[in-house]
C-alpha cells in the first residue's frame, strides 16, 4: 500500500516526483525518498516522516535530472527509519528500486546473496534484497564491455530473472546509472499504471499521482514488465513475450482530487455524498418496470433467476456494506445471503453450491485479500462479480462482471462516500433480484421513490454538521464509544465504531442492541457514551428498552433517530440527532452520515491527522 512514482522525459524530474508523492501520501506516510540519475550518477534523498520532510530536505539539497523514481512508504519489513526508506540500492549503488508489496522469500534470497559474497546490506527491508539480486544479475551479464542497447536488454533480462525467483507480491520501478533515460516497472499483486505522455512517460501505483500530467494510462496486469523511455515503451511478460495493452482515458482530472475549501479530504468526501449517491444510481432505475438495470453483471435474466445463494465478501468498510447487503437482499429478494471476511474466505474451504453468486466488494479494486477471494472463487468455477470504484482495477478486470460505483477518487483514508455508494448498489441488486421473484410493482416503485429522494435527504443530514460538532466537543474527553443498532442498522453500528477507531484512536465497538445484556453492559459507565441508532421503525421499542438499561447505569446516550423518535427519546437520551424518515432498506444510507461526521469532528477536537491516521493507509494491497 505504498506509493510509487517514476518519470522519464525532458523536464526536471524532482518537482514531478514530489508532486506525485504528495498526491499518493494517503497510500503511506512513514517515510519517503527520491532517486534521480544525474550525468551518469545516481543521486538520492530520503528520510523518515511525511512528504513535507522530504521536500524540505530537497530544498536544502536539490536534485537535477530528467529521470528517476520515488516512493512514499507504509512500513511492512523494518522500522520507520531513514535507512529503511525507499529507494533501495544494489551492492554497486548504481541501481535504485522502489517497491510496493511483500517479498515472502527475501530471507532465503538474502542468504544466497551473502553466501555469494554480497554482505553490503544497509536496511532491514525485503526490498533491498530484490535490488541486490537484480544488480548482481545485471553486473554478471555486463562483465565485458557492452553498448547502450545491450545494457538495456541485459537490465531487462536481470529484472525478469530475479522476479522469477521471487515469492510474494510486488509493484516495482527501477533505474540504473549506467542505463540513461531507461526505466523498468513490473507488477504482481500490487497495482502499477503506466502514464503515456508526449516525449515523456510515467509509472505510478495509482493514476491520481500522474493525472495532472497525462490522462492516457495503461493499467498493467500481473506478471507484466514494462520498459520505458522518453518516447516509447514496451510491455512484455516475465518470459519475454511482447504483450497486448489498451490505453485508457482517465475519467477524473487533477481538480477532482483537490480539497477545495474543505479543511480535510474526509470532510469534502462526506459532503460529496448527495452527488455520489445520485451518480451510483444514475441510469440504473427503470420507473416503467419498477426495477433496476445493471447491465454490467453480464448475466441473462434466466441466469439471474437461477441464482439460489449469494456470498458477499470484502474487508473493513466494504465488509460492513456487505452486511447491510445481506439484510437488503434477503428482505427484498428472499435469496439466502452470507457475508464473508475476504481474508477468511480465501483461506478456508467454504462450501459453495453451483447456484451461488459471489460479489467481491472493494473501493479501490486492488484490496489484496478481496482480490485473493475473487481469484479463489473463480478458481473453483463460481461466477464472481465485482463492486468497485475503479473501472480499470484488477478486481474489475478479473471478475466476470460487476457494478461500477461512480464515486470518483476517494483520498481520505477513512472511507465515507464509497460506503454509501456501495449501499446504493446493494439496494439496486436487492431490487433487481426481488422484482424477478416476489417483489410487487408497488413495492418496487416505493423503493425507487426512496432512492430518488436520498440526495435531497442527505443534504438535510449534512446540515446537522454544526449540531454534531457541538456534540463532539461535549464528549471530547471520553475514553471510548459504544455503538448499537438492530437489523439494517446493526452493520451501521459496526461502521460507526470503525470510523471512530480509525481517526480518533479511541476504543470503539459496535454491537446488536440486544447483545447489550449479554456481556456488553459491563462496560457501561459515565465516561463511556453509547450511540444508539434507533430510527422510528418496527424495532424502536426494543431499542428504547436497551437505552433505558444504559441510562439506569448512568451511561451517556447519543441517539440517532427519525420521525417521531425524537419526541419519545427526549427523556432518555442526552443528545438526539434526527434524520429524515425513509424505508428500512435505505435508512442505513442516512444513519451512517451523522456517524461519519461525529468521528470526524471528534478527531478534529482531539487534534488527530484526519486524512492520514496513524498506522493506516488507504488501499491495503499487501497481506
Of the candidates 178, 162, 170, 157, which has an alpha carbon nearest to the alpha carbon of residue 92? 178
Provide, for the chain, the percentages of residues in helix, strand and coil under a 3-state DSSP scheme, each rounded to the nearest 5: 40, 25, 35
Query: Which residues in 37-71 are b (16+ Cβ under 10 Å) and which e?
Result: beeeebbbbbbbbbbeebbebbeeeebebbbbbbb
pLDDT value at position 147? 83
Same fold yes or no, 259-461 and 464-611: yes
| Helices 417-435 and 317-333, axial angle in degrees (round to 10) | 20
Answer yes or no: 110 catalytic.
no
Arithmetic mean of pLDDT, 82-102: 94
Omega prior to 87 cis, within 30 of 0 = yes
Phi, psi of 249 (to 5 degrees): -95, 125
- From the options 3.40.720.10, 3.40.366.10, 3.60.20.10, 3.40.50.300, give the CATH code of 3-253: 3.60.20.10
Phi, psi of 174 (to 5 degrees): -145, 155
Q: Is the pLDDT of residue 327 over 70?
A: yes
- Cα 419 from Cα 314, distance rounded (Å): 12
Q: How far is CA 262 from the centre of its chain?
A: 21
Arithmetic mean of pLDDT, 603-620: 87
pLDDT value at position 512? 95
pLDDT tens, residue by residue, 49-68: 999 999 999 999 999 999 99
Q: Is the pLDDT of residue 162 over 80?
A: yes
- Cα 298 from Cα 295, distance rounded (Å): 6
Alpha-carbon distances, residue 448 vs 233, 281, 321, 492 (angstroms) = 48, 10, 20, 22
Of the candidates 106, 34, 76, which has an alpha carbon nearest to the alpha carbon of residue 368? 76
Is the separation of the CB atoms in 103 and 168 below 8 Å?
A: yes
Instruction: Please tell me the least confidently modeled range out of 313-317, 381-385, 613-617.
Output: 613-617
- As a CATH number, domain 464-611 is 3.40.50.10490
- Cα 498 from Cα 250, distance rounded (Å): 31
Q: Is the pLDDT of residue 619 over 80?
A: no
351 pLDDT band (50/70/90 cuts)?
A: confident
Which secondary-structure segment (H or E) carries 441? helix 441-462
360: Cα within 13 Å, side-chain hemisphere: 33
pLDDT value at position 621? 62
Instruction: Please tell me the least confidently modeled range out of 102-111, 578-587, 609-618.
Output: 609-618
pLDDT value at position 418? 97
Burial of 236 (0-12, 13-18, 19+ CB in 10 A): middle
pLDDT value at position 143? 67
- Cα 562 from Cα 577, distance rounded (Å): 8
Handedness of CA 54, 218, 377, 422 (dihedral sign): positive
Handedness of CA 276, 278, 282, 284 (dihedral sign): positive
- Cα 372 from Cα 184, distance rounded (Å): 26
Arithmetic mean of pLDDT, 145-166: 92
pLDDT value at position 1? 66
Sheet with 3-8, edge to edge strand ranges: 41-48, 31-38, 67-73, 3-8, 201-204, 193-196, 216-219, 248-249
**Averaged confidence pLDDT in the chain:** 93
pLDDT value at position 142? 81
- Cα 263 from Cα 270, distance rounded (Å): 12
pLDDT tens, residue by residue, 132-150: 999 999 999 886 677 888 9
Q: Is the pLDDT of residue 254 over 80?
A: no
623 pLDDT band (50/70/90 cuts)?
A: low
Longest CA span, the chain: 87
Kindly write down the DSSP assignment for every residue of 185-232, as one continuous string.
Answer: EEEEBS--EEEE-SS-EEEESSGGGTTTT--EEEEPPTTEEEEE-SS-
Which one of the listed residues 94, 499, 612, 618 is annotated catalytic? 618
Arithmetic mean of pLDDT, 406-412: 91
Which secondary-structure segment (H or E) carries 577? strand 575-579
**To 10 degrees, the CA torsion angle through 470, 471, 477, 480?**
-150
Percentage of the chain beyond pLDDT 90 is 81
pLDDT tens, residue by residue, 3-36: 999 999 999 999 999 999 998 887 778 999 999 9
3 state SS of 164:
coil
Cell of 24: 499518493
Q: Is the pLDDT of residue 587 over 90?
A: yes
Kindly write down the DSSP assignment for every residue of 513-543, as one continuous string.
Answer: GGGGGGTGGGG-BTTB-EEEEE-SSTTHHHH
Which span out of 409-413, 496-500, 516-520 was modeled with the highest average pLDDT?
Answer: 496-500
Alpha-carbon distances, residue 442 vs 104, 246, 454 (angstroms) = 56, 45, 19
Domain parsing of the chain, residue ranges: 3-253, 259-461, 464-611
- As a CATH number, domain 259-461 is 3.40.50.10490
Arithmetic mean of pLDDT, 442-446: 96
Q: ∠ at Cα 51 (48, 57), nearest 5°? A: 70
Q: Is the pLDDT of residue 454 over 80?
A: yes
Which one of the listed residues 2, 315, 388, 585 is annotated catalytic? 2
Q: Is the pLDDT of residue 255 over 80?
A: no
pLDDT tens, residue by residue, 37-53: 988 899 999 999 999 99
More confident of the two residues 189 and 482: 482
pLDDT value at position 244? 85
Answer yes or no: 499 catalytic.
no
Q: Is the pLDDT of residue 482 over 70?
A: yes
Burial of 397 (0-12, 13-18, 19+ CB in 10 A): middle
> Is the model's pTM score more than 0.75?
yes
Is the separation of the CB atoms in 418 and 317 below 8 Å?
A: yes
Is the separation of the CB atoms in 220 and 235 below 8 Å?
A: yes
- Cα 435 from Cα 445, distance rounded (Å): 10
622 pLDDT band (50/70/90 cuts)?
A: low
- Cα 500 from Cα 534, distance rounded (Å): 19
Arithmetic mean of pLDDT, 325-351: 92
Arithmetic mean of pLDDT, 184-189: 94
Amino acid at each position: 500500500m505504498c506509493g510509487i512514482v517514476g518519470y522519464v522525459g525532458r523536464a526536471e524530474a524532482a518537482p514531478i516526483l514530489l508532486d506525485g508523492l504528495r498526491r499518493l501520501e494517503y497510500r503511506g506516510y512513514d517515510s519517503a525518498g527520491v532517486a534521480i540519475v544525474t550525468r551518469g550518477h545516481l543521486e538520492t534523498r530520503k528520510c523518515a516522516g511525511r512528504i513535507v520532510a522530504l521536500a524540505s530536505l530537497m530544498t536544502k539539497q536539490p536534485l537535477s535530472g530528467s529521470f528517476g523514481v520515488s516512493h512514499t512508504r507504509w512500513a511492512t519489513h523494518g522500522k520507520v527509519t531513514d535507512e529503511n526508506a525507499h529507494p533501495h540500492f544494489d551492492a554497486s549503488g548504481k541501481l535504485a528500486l522502489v517497491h510496493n508489496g511483500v517479498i515472502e522469500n527475501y530471507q532465503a534470497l538474502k542468504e544466497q546473496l551473502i553466501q555469494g559474497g554480497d554482505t553490503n546490506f544497509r536496511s532491514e527491508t525485503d526490498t533491498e534484497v530484490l535490488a541486490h539480486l537484480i544488480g548482481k544479475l545485471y553486473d554478471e551479464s555486463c562483465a565485458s564491455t557492452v553498448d547502450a542497447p545491450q545494457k538495456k536488454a541485459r537490465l531487462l533480462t536481470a529484472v525478469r530473472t530475479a522476479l522469477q525467483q521471487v515469492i510474494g507480491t510486488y509493484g516495482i520501478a527501477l533505474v540504473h546509472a549506467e542505463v540513461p533515460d531507461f526505466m523498468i516497472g513490473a507488477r504482481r499483486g500490487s497495482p502499477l499504471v503506466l502514464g503515456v505522455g508526449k516525449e515523456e512517460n510515467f509509472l505510478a501505483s495509482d493514476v491520481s499521482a500522474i493525472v495532472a500530467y497525462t490522462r492516457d494510462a495503461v493499467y498493467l496486469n500481473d506478471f507484466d514488465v514494462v520498459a520505458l523511455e522518453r518516447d516509447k515503451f514496451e510491455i512484455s511478460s516475465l518470459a519475454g513475450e511482447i504483450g497486448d495493452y489498451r490505453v485508457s482515458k482517465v475519467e477524473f482530472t487533477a481538480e477532482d482530487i483537490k480539497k477545495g475549501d474543505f479543511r480535510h479530504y474526509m470532510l469534502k468526501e462526506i459532503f460529496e455524498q448527495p452527488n455520489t449517491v445520485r451518480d451510483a444510481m444514475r441510469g440504473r432505475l427503470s420507473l416503467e418496470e419498477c426495477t433496476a438495470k445493471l447491465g454490467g453483471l453480464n448475466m441473462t435474466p434466466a441466469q439471474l433467476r437461477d441464482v439460489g445463494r449469494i456470498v458477499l465478501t470484502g474487508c473493513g468498510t466494504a465488509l460492513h456494506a456487505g452486511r447491510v447487503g445481506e439484510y437488503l437482499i434477503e428482505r427484498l429478494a428472499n435469496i439466502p445471503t452470507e457475508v464473508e471476511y475476504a481474508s477468511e474466505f480465501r483461506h478456508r474451504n467454504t462450501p459453495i453450491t453451483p447456484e451461488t453468486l459471489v460479489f467481491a466488494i472493494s473501493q479501490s479494486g486492488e484490496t489484496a485479500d478481496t482480490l485473493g477471494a475473487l481469484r479463489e472463487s473463480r478458481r473453483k468455477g463460481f461466477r464472481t462479480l465485482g463492486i468497485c470504484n475503479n473501472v480499470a482495477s484488477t478486481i474489475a478486470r478479473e471478475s466476470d462482471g460487476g457494478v461500477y460505483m461512480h464515486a470518483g477518487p476517494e483520498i481520505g483514508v477513512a472511507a465515507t462516500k464509497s460506503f454509501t455508494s456501495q449501499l446504493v448498489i446493494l439496494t439496486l441488486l436487492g431490487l433487481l433480484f426481488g422484482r424477478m421473484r416476489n417483489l410487487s410493482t408497488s413495492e418496487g416503485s416505493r423503493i425507487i421513490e426512496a432512492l430518488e429522494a436520498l440526495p435531497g435527504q442527505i443534504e438535510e443530514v449534512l446540515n446537522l454538521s454544526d449540531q454534531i460538532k457541538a456534540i463532539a466537543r461535549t464528549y471530547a474527553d471520553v475514553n471510548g464509544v459504544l455503538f448499537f443498532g438492530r437489523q439494517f442498522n446493526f452493520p451501521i453500528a459496526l461502521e460507526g465504531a470503525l470510523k471512530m477507531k480509525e481517526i480518533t484512536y479511541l476504543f470503539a465497538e459496535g454491537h446488536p442492541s440486544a447483545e447489550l445484556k449479554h456481556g456488553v453492559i459491563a462496560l457501561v459507565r459515565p465516561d463511556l457514551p453509547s450511540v444508539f441508532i434507533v430510527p422510528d421503525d418496527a424495532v424502536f421499542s426494543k431499542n428504547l428498552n436497551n437505552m433505558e438499561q444504559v441510562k439506569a447505569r448512568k451511561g451517556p446516550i447519543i441517539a440517532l433517530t427519525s420521525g417521531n423518535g425524537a419526541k419519545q427519546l427526549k427523556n432518555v437520551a442526552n443528545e438526539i440527532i434526527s434524520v429524515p424518515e425513509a424505508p428500512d432498506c435505505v435508512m442505513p444510507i442516512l444513519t451512517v452520515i451523522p456517524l461519519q461526521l461525529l468521528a470526524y469532528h471528534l478527531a478534529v477536537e482531539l487534534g488527530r491527522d484526519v486524512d492520514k491516521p496513524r498506522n493506516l493507509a488507504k488501499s491495503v494491497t499487501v497481506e
